[in-house]
Structure 1
C-alpha cells in the first residue's frame, strides 16, 4: 500500500528484545568482516550455518526478527499452523531431531518457534547471529572482491560470499483500499498480528481467503465475536486430518528419518507420496474414484501430491478432480448462500493452479450464525469509512467493524530480495535488473552478482515443494560449490547471462505446457497489483531440479569463473 494508516498495527514480536550487534562479546556488526553472511534465520539460514561451518569458514547470520524461525517468528495470528506434516517439515540434522518431538501431525506456530529455539541451542547458532537487523543494501565491490552490507541502522559489514535465505513470505502485501486512513478502528496484517488483541465482543472483518484467512476464520468463529470473511476467490481447501503424535511413535520412527527425508528429496514435491497406480486416462472412472477416496482419507496434501499428473496439464482431468472436490465439500456446508460462495458448482479456477490450504473444520465453522461471508466478486470493497467498509456492486451496503484483518499475503518469492538493495558488480540494482523479468541461473545465482547465492528462491521449485527438503538441496549445492572453489583456487563464480536466459526460457516453456498461466496467484505475481506476472517457479519437480543443478557443478556449466 502507498501509505500506512495511523491505526495500522506495527510489527510487535521482539522476544529477545535487544539489538544483538554488540552483545555476547561479539564484535559490533559495524566492524564485521567475515567469509559468509547469511541473510535470514529460517530453515535456510540455520541449515546454511550448519553446513558452511563444516567447511571451516567463518559464518555469520543476520535476521530481521529477534529469534530464529523465519516466517514462523512473525506469523502469530489465531490458528497459524504449518500445512507440511511431521517429520517432513524439519531439518535432517540428527543433532536437532534426536532430542525433539512434535505434539501433532501438523504443528502450530507456537510449537514451531519452540522447535527453532531448540535448533538454535542444539547447533549453538546465536553466538554468530545478529538479530533485529534489517539489510537495506548489499553492493559488490570488484576491487576487494567482497560484498559490502548495510543495515537499516547504518551499520556496515563485508563478506566474500553472500547467501540470501530471505524466503518467500516476509514482505507483506497490504492492498491500498480507498479512504483506508479514515477508518478509526484497528487494521492488522496477519503476519504482524499483535499478541494482546482481544476479539471478545468485537466485529471482525477478515480480508483474504488463502491459507491465512482460512485459518483465522476457522479459529475466530469459535470465539465470542462476529466474523465477516471477505472472499474474492474460494479456497479449494483440503481436509488436514490432524491428529496427536506420541513420543513413543516418533522415537521409533527416528530409525527411519534419514531414509524418509532422503526419499523426500527424491520426490516431485518434497513429500515422498506414492504416485497414482496408473495414468488418468489409463484408469477407469471407478479406479479414479477409488484412488481419490483413498487420497482424501489420508488428508494433508495427499490429494495434491498423490493425484494424477494430468491434473495440471489436461482440462478434462482437472474438471473431474474439481467435481470430486466440490461434491465432497458442498455436503459440509448447510447454508445454501455460503455453500455457493466457498464451493461453487462452476469451477473458479483450475484445481491445483492456486495453492490449496488445509482445513480442520472450516466449512462447519462458516455455517455458524456469528460468521458472515461476503463475495467480493459480487460486492467488491469500494472504500473504507470511519466505522467500517462500503461494499459496492448492484446491492451495495455498509458494514461496521472494530477490527479489520488483512490476510492478504505477501509480495512473495521476490519481494524480500528486491528490498535488500542488492547491487551487482556492474552497478545495476536487482530491482532494475529484474524490471522486465526474473533472471537467475538454476534459481541459485544471479548474473553480474559474483558469489551471491539464494535459497528458497525464484525460478526454483520453492512454493511447489515442501520447504525443508528443497532448502537442504540448495544449501548442499552452495556448500559443494564453495568447497570446489576452495580446492580449485577460484575467487568468484558468476552465472553467464546466456545461461540465465536459457534457464528462464526453460521455466517458461514448461509452464506454458500446464494450466498454471490461466490462473493469477502469488505463484506468478498475480496477487500484487503492478507486479510483473511471470512464471516464478521451476515446475519439473524437486527430483529433476536436484539432478540438473548437481550436473552443473561438474564443470561449472553456465558460470564465469575467476581464478584467485
Structure 2
C-alpha cells in the first residue's frame, strides 16, 4: 500500500530559486515564521513593512499552507466570498474570484497571485521542515534546526502552522497489509486518483469526508462510506460570481475585510443575532430559518442568539435541519443513518459542514453506508476492511478522512525547548492539558508567539479574520519591545492559568462543552479532554488581547 506517513504520493512542484538572495544554511533574523499559509503570509508582509528582517520556513514547495496540500476530490472552503482572503489592498484589489465558495485550485491561484504581487518567495525557505527549536536565555534568542541542515538564530519565533497540520490515522490492526491504494486527505496526490470502475471507501464524515464522499460517488463503481457520527451538513448553495456581484462587492471590499467582518462573532459577514428563538412562534421560526436556508452556507446559524446555549432552541434547530434533510433521502435505512430523528449530539456540538449534493449522492444504489454505531472496524486485510459482524468490505481505494490532532498537534511535530530545558509537548501533556496566555503565547517559552492555535477563537470562525488581528498584535509587541530596548517577553504562569479558566468558563456556558469532538481533543486517543477554543467571540477576543498589550504588557514579564 502507499505509505500513509509519507508525502511521496504528491508530485513535487518545481521550485523557483533566487540565487544569492541569502545563505539558506545559516541565518540570523529578527523573526522566523514557521508556515506559509494565510497567517504566515500576512505576518511576513507586515514585518517587512515595519523593517524587520523576517523569513518563512515552509515544508512545502509553495505558499498556501493547508491549501498547498489540499488536492482531494471536492476540496473547497466553507467561508463565503469575499470574506476568505487577506485584507492586503495590493492583493484583494487585483484578484478575481470565480465562485462564492472557492475550491483548492482557486485558492492555490490566489496564493500564487499574492506571491507575485508582494514578491513573498524572496523571503521563504521552501522544502524546509523545522525539526527542533531551543531557547537561549543568555542571548534571548531561539536556535532553530531544520531537517535539511539549515540552522537559524532568531529573536522572535512565530508559529503559523495552522490547527490541522498533524494528520491522524486510526490504530486498525493490519492497516499496513492493505494491498489497494490508501491515502489520507491531507496528502492527496495533485494529479488525483482515478476512481472509475473502482471499489472505494471513505472513512470519516467531517468536512473533508463529506467532500470526498460527495465527489467519489460520481465516479466510483462502488462506494462504501463508514459513518460513526452523521454530519449535520448544511446546503452550500454554491454559485458562480457574476460581474454584477463582483462590482457590488468591490465597491466596499476594503471596509468588509478591514472592519465589517470583525463585528461578527466568527469573523464572517453575517450580523450577530440578538433575538432568542423562543421569542418567536414555531411558525415564525420556520419562516426565518427557511429564509436563511435559501441563502446557503452558515447563514442559518446566525438567525437566533441562543442556539448554542438553550437546549430547547438547540433541539428545534436540529429537528428543523433533520426534517429538511430527511426529505432529500429516499432510502429509509440511509435516511435514519444520515439524519436520525434523535440528535446524536447538540446541534453545532460538532462542526457542521457545507455540502452541495451530498445526500443525493449517498442515496444512490451503488453507495453503501456502514453504521459504526452498530458495528466497528475489526481489522484490515489485503482485500479490504473487516467489520465486527465478520463482513469483508472489498476495496481498491481507501480514502482516509480521519482528521487531525487539531490545535495542539501542530506543535508536537517540532521539538520545542523553552527556559530551563522545558519541553512544550511535555508541558501540555498533563491532566491540565494545553496552557497558554491569550491563545498566542506560552509561559516559559519567551519570544514565541503563535496564530490559529489553542485558546483562541480558532475553530469557531473564519481563518483570515482570526489570524490577521493576532499577527497585528505580534507586530505591535515586536515594535514596542524594540522601542523600549527590551529583548525578552515571557508570559506569567499565573496569567496563563487565569486564561485557561476563562477559556473553560466561556466554553462551559455552551452546549458544545459536553460533546466529545476534536473541538475538545477527544478524537485522539490519550489526549486530555479540554476546551481548546475561545468561545467568547472574535470581537471580544481582539479587544482583550489588545487591552492587555496596551496595559503595559499585562500578564508578561519583560526584560
- Same topology, TM > 0.5: yes
Deviation at 1:255, TM superposition (A): 2.0
Aligned to 1:426: 420
1:114 aligns with 2:116: no
Deviation at 1:272, TM superposition (A): 2.8
Aligned to 2:150: 155
CA distance, structure 1, for counterparts of residue 472 and residue 438 of structure 2: 14
Aligned to 2:260: 263
1:373 aligns with 2:386: no
Deviation at 1:18, TM superposition (A): 4.8
Paired residues of 2:199 and 2:220 also in contact (CA < 8 A)? no
- Give the 3-state SS of the residue equivalent to 1:107 in structure 2: coil
CA distance, structure 1, for counterparts of residue 134 and residue 182 of structure 2: 36
1:308 aligns with 2:304: yes
Deviation at 1:522, TM superposition (A): 1.1
Task: Give 2:24's match in structure 1, choosing from 25, 29, 37.
Answer: 29
- 1:224/1:524 CA distance change after superposition, 3 Å: closer
Deviation at 1:303, TM superposition (A): 1.5
CA distance, structure 2, for counterparts of residue 143 and residue 9 of structure 1: 38
- Deviating more after overlay: 434-443 vs 321-330: 434-443
Give the 4+ runs in structure 1 shifted more than 6 A.
none
CA distance, structure 2, for counterparts of residue 403 and residue 8 of structure 1: 17
Paired residues of 1:380 and 1:392 also in contact (CA < 8 A)? yes
Aligned to 1:89: 84
Aligned to 2:336: 340
Cα RMSD (Å): 1.6
Aligned to 2:277: 280
Task: Give 1:354's match in structure 2, choosing from 350, 357, 362.
Answer: 350
Paired residues of 1:496 and 1:560 also in contact (CA < 8 A)? yes
Aligned to 1:557: 554
Paired residues of 1:220 and 1:227 also in contact (CA < 8 A)? yes
1:391 aligns with 2:387: yes
Deviation at 1:30, TM superposition (A): 2.1
- 1:152/1:534 CA distance change after superposition, 3 Å: same
Deviation at 1:14, TM superposition (A): 5.3
Structure 1 residues not aligned, in runs of 5+: none
- 1:513/1:252 CA distance change after superposition, 3 Å: closer
- Give the 3-state SS of the residue equivalent to 2:421 in structure 1: coil
Task: Give 2:534's match in structure 1, choosing from 516, 535, 538.
Answer: 538
- Deviating more after overlay: 206-215 vs 290-299: 290-299
CA distance, structure 1, for counterparts of residue 479 and residue 6 of structure 2: 45
- 1:317/1:7 CA distance change after superposition, 3 Å: closer
Describe the superposition over 1:452-483 as per-residue Cα deviations: whole angstroms up to 9, x where unpaired.
11011110000101000111110011111111
1:227 aligns with 2:223: yes
1:133 aligns with 2:120: no
Task: Give 1:525's match in structure 2, choosing from 521, 525, 535.
Answer: 521
Describe the superposition over 1:325-359 as per-residue Cα deviations: whole angstroms up to 9, x where unpaired.
00000000001111111000111010011111000
Deviation at 1:426, TM superposition (A): 2.0
- Deviating more after overlay: 400-409 vs 258-267: 258-267
Paired residues of 1:15 and 1:67 also in contact (CA < 8 A)? no
Q: How does 1:66-85 map to 2 (within 5 A)?
A: 66-85=61-80
Describe the superposition over 1:427-453 as per-residue Cα deviations: whole angstroms up to 9, x where unpaired.
111011111211111001110111111
Describe the superposition over 1:258-305 as per-residue Cα deviations: whole angstroms up to 9, x where unpaired.
21121111210111312346222322222222221122111111122x
Deviation at 1:224, TM superposition (A): 4.5
CA distance, structure 1, for counterparts of residue 35 and residue 181 of structure 2: 30
Task: Give 1:167's match in structure 2, choosing from 155, 162, 165.
Answer: 162
- Give the 3-state SS of the residue equivalent to 1:303 in structure 2: helix
- Deviating more after overlay: 548-557 vs 506-515: 506-515
Aligned to 1:204: 200
Describe the superposition over 1:146-181 as per-residue Cα deviations: whole angstroms up to 9, x where unpaired.
110011123211110110000111111111111112
Aligned to 1:299: 296
Task: Give 2:508's match in structure 1, choosing from 491, 508, 512.
Answer: 512
Task: Give 1:189's match in structure 2, choosing from 178, 184, 189.
Answer: 184
Aligned to 2:239: 243
CA distance, structure 2, for counterparts of residue 123 and residue 88 of structure 1: 20
CA distance, structure 2, for counterparts of residue 477 and residue 447 of structure 1: 17
Paired residues of 1:9 and 1:187 also in contact (CA < 8 A)? no
Paired residues of 1:13 and 1:66 also in contact (CA < 8 A)? no
- Deviating more after overlay: 431-440 vs 159-168: 431-440
CA distance, structure 2, for counterparts of residue 288 and residue 252 of structure 1: 30
Aligned pairs, how many?
Answer: 554
Paired residues of 1:133 and 1:151 also in contact (CA < 8 A)? yes
- Deviating more after overlay: 119-128 vs 145-154: 145-154
- 1:363/1:9 CA distance change after superposition, 3 Å: farther
Paired residues of 2:378 and 2:387 also in contact (CA < 8 A)? yes
- 1:9/1:30 CA distance change after superposition, 3 Å: closer
Deviation at 1:520, TM superposition (A): 1.3
Structure 2 residues not aligned, in runs of 5+: none
CA distance, structure 2, for counterparts of residue 254 and residue 471 of structure 1: 23
Aligned to 1:412: 406
CA distance, structure 2, for counterparts of residue 265 and residue 439 of structure 1: 26
Paired residues of 1:206 and 1:217 also in contact (CA < 8 A)? yes
Describe the superposition over 1:458-515 as per-residue Cα deviations: whole angstroms up to 9, x where unpaired.
1000010100011111001111111111222221211100001000011111112221
Paired residues of 1:229 and 1:371 also in contact (CA < 8 A)? yes
- Give the 3-state SS of the residue equivalent to 1:472 in structure 2: helix
Question: Scaled by the length of structure 1, what TM-score is found?
Answer: 0.95
Deviation at 1:198, TM superposition (A): 1.3
CA distance, structure 2, for counterparts of residue 405 and residue 68 of structure 1: 25
Question: Scaled by the length of structure 2, what TM-score is found?
Answer: 0.96
- Give the 3-state SS of the residue equivalent to 1:139 in structure 2: strand
